[in-house]
Amino acid sequence: MNIVVLVKQVPNTHDVRIDPKTGNLIREGVESIINPEDRHALEAALGIKDRLGAEITALTMGPPQAIEVICEAVATGADRGILLSDKAFAGADTWATSTALGLAIKRIGEFDIILAGRQAIDGDTAQIGPQVAEFLGIPQLTYVRDLEVLEGKITAERVLEDGCERIEAPFPVLLTVLAALNEPRHPTVAGMLRSASERAPIEVWNAADIGAKALDVGFLGSLTQVTRTFTPKEARNTRHLEGSPGSVAAQLIQCLQEQGIRLGE
């Protein structure tokens, strides 16, 4: 069985701060991590490999330093890692990203399952999984919290807003998974040595390697453009209420009454 795991390197957004003068992200000193839900996707692949045997390829697109997440995936147990890196890929929206990932998966060749995290914590779009599935013309199962691999097919439990459903899909299939699916394992020392060795099964592919044209990928291939970024503004006239708890309570009830809101009715 062949499994492709899509991973993304993201800034740990708990650390993200905005420069108050420029409004830009301060990236210095911000730790880069594997997108948390992608670790669960990798774990799902490793679990299948443990039980049934599988060849796992970890795939990412990003700047040269994104090789770190590929090394981590290989150190954790992936058999092969591929980084798509090229200036031509920069500035991609989800349309252009799914084009590049889809072309790369076609070049990888045979696959039965593609796994990815539900969404990345920097963009929160949750679009890449379904867009790659559509690019490849295969079914998608999103919001997966449980899965079982059977002969030639997979069953998965998907979380709905008001419940859950169990779905059966044939191979090949793409799944986007939730953290509730499993508990990710850590890289092993042997794995880290393997991923750092010269013969590590890690490759870097550029646009020509996947047969992409410059106009299909990156900024040029994107269908959406960011026209402005800004820090959310807060504009309310704050009124401070002071005094003993009883007095503050009375003031607040009075203030809200003046706005036509009567508490307790």
Partner 1 sequence: MAVSIDVDKCNGCGMCSRSCPYLALVIEDKKAKWLEERCTLCGACLESCKFGALTGEMPTREVPDFSDYRDVWVFVEQHDGALHRSAFELIGCARGLADDLGQKVAVAVFGAEVKGQAQDLIRHGADRCIVVEDPGLAYYRTCTYTHVLGEIIRGYKPGILLIAATHLGRDLAPRLARRMGLGLTADCTRLSIDPEEKILLQTRPAFGGNIMATIVSRFSRPQTATVRPGIMKALEPDATRTGEIVVEELDMAECREFTHVLECVLQEKKRADLAAAKIIVAGGRPVCSERGIEVLREFAEAVGAEVACTRVVVEEGFLPVEHQVGQTGQSVRPEVYFACGISGAIQHKAGMDGSRYIVAINKDPDAPIFGVADYAIVGDLFEILPALTRSIKGS
Site for partner 1 in 70-89 (CB under 8 A): 86-88
Measured between alpha carbons, how far is 232 from 262 in angstroms, rounded to an integer? 31
Query: Applying CB under 8 A, which part among 39-47, 71-79, 195-203, 237-245 lies near partner 1?
Result: 237-245
Q: By CB under 8 A, what part of segment 194-223 binds partner 1?
A: 206-208, 211-215, 220, 222-223
Spatial contact of 212 and 193, defined as CB atoms under 8 Å apart:
no
Question: Could you say whether residue 111 binds partner 1 (CB under 8 A)?
Answer: no
Spatial contact of 255 and 239, defined as CB atoms under 8 Å apart:
yes
Residue type, 143: Y
Q: Pick from 60, 111, 143, 191 the residue near partner 1 by CB under 8 A.
A: 143
Question: Could you say whether residue 180 binds partner 1 (CB under 8 A)?
Answer: no
The CB-of-216 to partner 1 minimum distance in angstroms stands at 9
The CB-of-207 to partner 1 minimum distance in angstroms stands at 5
The CB-of-79 to partner 1 minimum distance in angstroms stands at 27
Backbone angles phi, psi at 231, to 5 degrees: -85, 135
The CB-of-75 to partner 1 minimum distance in angstroms stands at 27
Nearer to partner 1, 199 or 239 (CB): 239
Tokens of 185: 């394992």
Q: Pick from 28, 110, 151, 162 the residue near partner 1 by CB under 8 A.
A: 162
DSSP reduced 3-state for 211: coil
Question: Could you say whether residue 93 binds partner 1 (CB under 8 A)?
Answer: yes
Question: Could you say whether residue 29 binds partner 1 (CB under 8 A)?
Answer: no
Nearer to partner 1, 111 or 135 (CB): 135
Measured between alpha carbons, how far is 221 from 91 in angstroms, rounded to an integer? 9
Q: Pick from 1, 108, 167, 200 the residue near partner 1 by CB under 8 A.
A: 167
Question: Could you say whether residue 98 binds partner 1 (CB under 8 A)?
Answer: yes
Q: Pick from 20, 29, 152, 264 the residue near partner 1 by CB under 8 A.
A: 264
**Which residues touch 175 (CB under 8 Å, ≥6 apart)?**
41, 44, 113, 114, 115, 116, 129, 140, 141, 142, 144, 147, 154, 156
Spatial contact of 104 and 205, defined as CB atoms under 8 Å apart:
yes
Give the angle subtended at the CA of 243 by the CAs of 238 and 249, to the nearest 5°: 75
CB-based burial, 23-46: b 16+ in 10 Å, e otherwise: eeeeeeebeebbbebbbbbbbbbb
